[in-house]
Chains A and B, each alone.
Chain A
């Protein structure tokens, strides 16, 4: 009854607010979203890694479990394609019971355990997935019956539900579709079970999704969602002001936020968990192999100044490598509060009283370049001259993985547990320019045992304690300097926001 009455309200709202004034799309409920990107990478959920990929992929797929809509807390993960599950006493065998009658897009039939087995094995295969490494602990996936699937793990991992949720590698694809279309074509012709399905993809321009009438949570209210790829900020803003775009990704700058707040009928949404900005000091390159130098730089940087520069509304302080919005994030750590005198004292101890000069590459992308320019100015006050060569974003990511930079600024969002960041950035297996390397730019190798122990730990409080120790050690050794979190900034047409929010009941998480 509650759902039905909210649905009726939503329809009335739509009729009043959306149908008038009449437009070419008057009878069709469409939301147009402008994204700050040139294009998607892939619609195969095992390769889509960017924010833009997710924005387009997520409406088309489901996973066995999902984050509660509107909430990134991994402790509130709820059932999605699976109605429930059992866990063996040793925690290594998980049996999932699937919903019945879940339909794939475009007449590809019902979801069964075979699709789940296929999807997870695909996600675990390095030939067919960019997230295969996350599935190293998965030993096998078995089909017990049409709606029951069993996963057996070789060892404990920090979060099984986190692995299987609607995030990296957790999405379930249609086995029949992949086998018919082929893996390559599937990257631009995805078939899932989500509330929307792909209608049209125009590279470098837009992607159009239409509603999936047989969606298991009910027919979506929206008929169509269009994702427009618009890297130019002015174009996005103009299109939004004119009404050709309903939701627009904004710039993470105070100036932009303040400007758009003044536009009538506009809601500016600034929300987390955002992305972390962290400076990594490469301990394999002089003089950053000296802890005195690293501490000197840490004391020379002012988070507050940086946040003022970027915008108070769009940033939050980050004092530990793991933000507090992540499971395991803490704040009682060594705080390198800005202290110019201390910075100079540490430099003097390191024999660099007059300062020093070093060179690094930085991407042209403003999200990276602007904070780095601010830090460059701050370091100069202490006599440290950081010279920067600006290169393209793709070249930047290639170069930092080749270990060229003595200091690396990295911006990221990961699955919101401490393990995801600790494993990728601070475990020795992840050291860049090695075969297993990912993003350990600092070449840090002193907390491998803490990370591995926490990964195996089944008691959450003990796990958190181990993660806390790891964070403190990182900061004691000053191998990284957490700067701040930059939140996501979107603006939306006032009525559109209400339409989209009315899609999902926040308590049940059900679509109407």
Chain B
């Protein structure tokens, strides 16, 4: 298991290299560039060319790529082409908020989704099951930004329970959590919908298995049957969904950050694309890719914990 973990971890190097390379060349194919965005619309062609020269954007793309890789190996993430601030500094400011949001969204999704899925499975074809299934359908269909605006309108504007904008002060946990509630629920509700459906479906499969019938026949309490025998097996496919959805969650955080005017890497990435801020965009995508990579690794390792029959070599 340890060797497997090390081997998988080392695979991140070629994976990230591939991601960086694709992003590097792709964004440079798209029309537009950072010089016009940085200088504004009054700039002459000459000024734009001068700034592109200062940014190194007039060099052949392959030369720019090699320079970028060399800087990356030296640990330099470069400067934002628009603000001229170190990318590392800008990311350091935004990253904690994205981690907060993604983790909170995932935790809520799991804490709500798994019990709801179990409850629906145990009350199959009864009213709670129908309500659960309709609810999950609505949750899956609802765009995150729309859900965010709805939650904002009800709980922040009308009921005045939560703030609308900002991420709170990083040094103050109370402020951080207070600003996290609505955005986390925005992401968590959608994730709940996916997980509850998956949990319900896999629970129904497992509940019908022979070993569950045997456990009941042996007089094991229903609670033990469900939570010790059935759920553990039902969680394997659910774990897959959670691992896959983690990547989707990060994508969802983009819109959530914009709607709630929360700082974060997702927002940074969107605006980096709009402004053609190549350095910021490349770095943020590398971070997202690394996060998805490790989440998938954790998911795989969790299988081994849940199901002792699974061994990694």
Contacts and interface: CB of A to CB of B under 8 A. Distances in A.
B85 A47 contact: no
Given A239-B164, A397-B36, A401-B36, A188 B84 contact: yes
Nearest to B267: A204
Contact of B39 (A47, A230, A434): A47
Interface stretch (B14-22, B153-161, B206-214, B245-253): B153-161
B39 A130 contact: yes
Interface string A126-140: 110011110000000
B152 to A, nearest CB: 5
Contacts of B32: 391-392, 394-399
B37 A394 contact: yes
Given A205-B261, A394-B32, A398-B32, A242 B41 contact: no
A366 interface: no
A231 interface: yes
Chain A interface main SS type: loop
Contacts of B31: 391, 395, 398-399
B274 interface: yes
Interface in A189-232: 202-206, 228-232
A49 B157 CA distance: 34
B185 to A, nearest CB: 16
Nearest to A50: B40
A395 B153 CA distance: 34
B41 A49 contact: yes
B45 A238 contact: no
Interface in A216-270: 228-232, 234-235, 238-239, 241-242, 244-245
Contacts of A126: 46-47, 50
B137 to A, nearest CB: 24
Q: Which of B50, B83, B93, B267 has the most CB of A within 10 A?
A: B83
A41 B37 CA distance: 8
Nearest to B40: A49
A438 B42 CA distance: 6
B165 A203 contact: no
A412 interface: yes
B152 A438 contact: no
B63 to A, nearest CB: 21
B94 to A, nearest CB: 7
Nearest to B271: A38
A424 interface: yes
Interface string A398-440: 1101000000000010000000000010000010111111110
A238 B44 contact: no
Please classify how large the interface on chain A is, using the bins under 10, 10 to 19, 20 to 34, 35 or more.
35 or more
B194 interface: no
Contacts of A204: 94, 263, 267-268, 271
A275 to B, nearest CB: 12
Interface in A114-134: 126-127, 130-133
Given A41-B82, A238-B156, A239-B165, A130 B42 contact: yes
Contacts of B275: 38, 394
B44 A42 contact: no
Interface in B221-276: 258-263, 267-268, 270-271, 273-276
A42 B83 contact: yes
A39 interface: yes
A435 B267 contact: no
Interface in B258-313: 258-263, 267-268, 270-271, 273-276
Interface string A70-102: 000000000000000000000000000000000
A149 B209 CA distance: 92
Which residue, B37, B160, B165, has most C-beta atoms of chain A within 10 A? B165
B85 A188 contact: yes
Contact of A235 (B36, B164, B270): B164
Nearest to B152: A238
Contacts of B259: 232, 234-235
A68 to B, nearest CB: 24
A184 interface: yes
Contacts of B164: 235, 238-239, 242, 244
A242 B157 contact: yes
Given A49-B40, A204-B268, A242 B261 contact: no
A398 B32 CA distance: 5
A202 B165 contact: no
A27 interface: no
Interface in B1-55: 30-34, 36-50
Contact of A244 (B36, B90, B163, B167): B163
Contact of A49 (B42, B79, B82): B42
Contacts of A50: 40
A397 B79 CA distance: 23
Across the A-B interface, give the 10 residue pairs with the lowest CB-CB distance, nearest first: A49-B40, A395-B32, A398-B32, A38-B271, A239-B164, A395-B31, A437-B45, A394-B32, A205-B263, A130-B39
Given A38-B275, A127-B50, A232-B259, 10 more contacts: A42-B84, A48-B40, A49-B39, A187-B83, A203-B80, A205-B263, A228-B261, A234-B149, A434-B45, A435-B44
